[in-house]
């Protein structure tokens, strides 16, 4: 029996990695780029590809039903401000109906509503890591340089603080220095958080963790070359991520970039 996987794709290389993994597992892939700036390689590797804005939920569902999709994954960066234009929501009527039914606009609230809608249409939403197990880092120092004692202390502190904001469904990243929080990720996303934190104190540590009650069907934390580029601009000296719960994208390139700039990366 033919298996078809729908891939709701955001920004970054993860949708490409997942598509390749799904095809290797025998799936026909239907990828939908739901935000501007989706990796152009996705159009080349997916069996079918569409560009449909995340606010046009009705059209997204129609494309999935057209290919009789029964399994779906949501992967890649889709920051919540994409739903807004000059302060106004610009979704279609199905998205309006969904958003108006919500008690709040927390990330998990929105994503759980989308999951529920997909499942009501007979589509099962898959764990994001099902085809990406090799991207989950093992515990330990991943770079050539180990953290100094002060950096290690900031990593411990930052890791604990990132878990706390994750528990409040605010974000997954904090930037710290000398056990003081320089920046907390919110709607602006990880890269903007890193740059803001770096502007307040050079030599910062970036901490990124999964939420305490992380739903692996969506919003898995990830780190990649874009993260490192933002850290370099911010003057960051180290990164701590959660082992087994954070996707390390383009691992060789990411770690090579970190080593080139003397940045230490730890998975704990």
Q: Which domains does the chain have, with CATH numbers?
A: 3-131 (3.40.50.20), 136-267 (3.40.140.80)
Compute the distance between CA of residue 177 and CA of residue 201 in angstroms, rounded to an integer: 7
Are 256 and 220 in contact by the 8 Å Cβ rule? The answer is: no
pLDDT digits 0-9 by tens, 87-124: 444 566 676 666 677 666 565 567 677 778 888 888 99
Spans of the chain below 50 pLDDT: 86-89
Which residues are CB-neighbours of 210 under 8 A, at least 6 positions away?
A: 166, 172, 220, 221, 242, 245, 246
Are 130 and 122 in contact by the 8 Å Cβ rule? The answer is: no
Dihedrals phi, psi of 256, to nearest 5 degrees: -65, -40
The two most distant CA atoms of the chain are separated, in Å, by 57
For the entire predicted model, the pTM comes to 0.78
């Amino acid at each position: 029996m033919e298996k078809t996987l729908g891939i709701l794709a955001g920004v970054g290389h993860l949708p490409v990695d997942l598509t390749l993994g799904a095809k290797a597992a025998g799936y026909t892939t239907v990828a939908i780029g739901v935000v501007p700036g989706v990796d152009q390689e996705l159009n080349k590797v997916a069996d079918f590809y569409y560009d449909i804005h995340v606010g046009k939920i009705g059209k997204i569902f129609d494309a999935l039903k057209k290919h009789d999709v029964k399994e779906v994954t949501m992967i890649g960066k889709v920051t919540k401000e994409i739903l807004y234009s000059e302060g106004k929501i610009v979704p279609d009527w199905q998205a309006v109906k969904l958003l108006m039914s919500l008690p709040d606009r927390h990330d998990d609230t929105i994503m759980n509503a989308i999951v529920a809608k997909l499942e009501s249409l007979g589509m099962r939403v898959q764990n994001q890591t099902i085809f990406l197990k090799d991207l989950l880092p093992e515990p330990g120092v991943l770079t050539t340089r180990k953290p100094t004692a002060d950096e290690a202390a900031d990593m411990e502190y930052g890791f604990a603080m990132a878990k706390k904001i994750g528990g409040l469904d605010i974000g997954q990243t904090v930037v710290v220095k000398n056990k003081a929080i320089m920046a907390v990720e919110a709607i602006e996303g990880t890269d903007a958080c890193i740059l803001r934190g770096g502007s307040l104190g050079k030599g910062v540590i970036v901490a990124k963790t999964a939420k305490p009650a992380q739903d692996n069907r969506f919003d898995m934390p990830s780190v990649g070359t874009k993260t490192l580029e933002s850290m370099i601009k911010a003057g960051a000296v180290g990164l701590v991520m959660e082992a087994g719960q954070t996707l390390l994208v383009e691992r060789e390139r990411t770690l090579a970039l970190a080593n080139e700039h003397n940045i230490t990366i730890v998975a704990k």
